[in-house]
Structure 1
Amino acid sequence: TISPLDNSTPSHFQKNTSIGTLLDELFIEEWTISSSYEDYFAICSPTHCNFECVIRNNILHVATLVRGLYGGLTIGLRFIIWNVTGLYRLMKIRLGSRHITAY
């Protein structure tokens, strides 16, 4: 059975406080945080700390990664090849105009 709240118990909530407000406060009257890192390290005495993050890739992630690499390489290689061929043509024109044939 559920018994009604005791009106004689002290509370920081008013008697006419809405359920929504009580839910926002998680029905908690008082929250006390007591943490001591010195005590933790004295009791546990860790010699070193490690952090490990394990990520399992699904097929969608792998497909997106492969497509992104393909697109990036395609754009990069097009840019490089376009500039290299342009530079080659420019050098060919300039070097070709320097050759003077004597009769």
Structure 2
Amino acid sequence: MEDVVKATSRSSDLLEEISLASGEQSKGVSQIGVAVTQMEKTTQQNAVLLEKSATATESLREQAVQLVSAVSVFRVSEHSDQAQVRPVQIKTPLESLQVKPTSTDKEWVSF
């Protein structure tokens, strides 16, 4: 009879260990599910960003074509190595703000 009690006790212990392992396994599967959901969300966000990037790239390509077309009307002389630049006189702020005195020294009075 003692062997039966020991076997029953051992079976009970094994069932408890299996139950604990099943709980841990369930938690692990839940964590994997959360990770997969996060990865799916990130993948969807990346797909949206990729679509926006492709749209922006196409828009820039079209603008580049338009710019090339607009600039193609300009012609530069083949004999000119440098652009001819005319110097422009620039007034400094102090030159343009110089104030002439409106009174003479005779008008000053001591207090």
TM-score of the superposed pair, with normalisation by structure 1 = 0.40
Higher RCO (CA < 8 A, seq sep 6+): 1
TM-score of the superposed pair, with normalisation by structure 2 = 0.38
* Larger Rg, first or second structure (1 or 2): 2
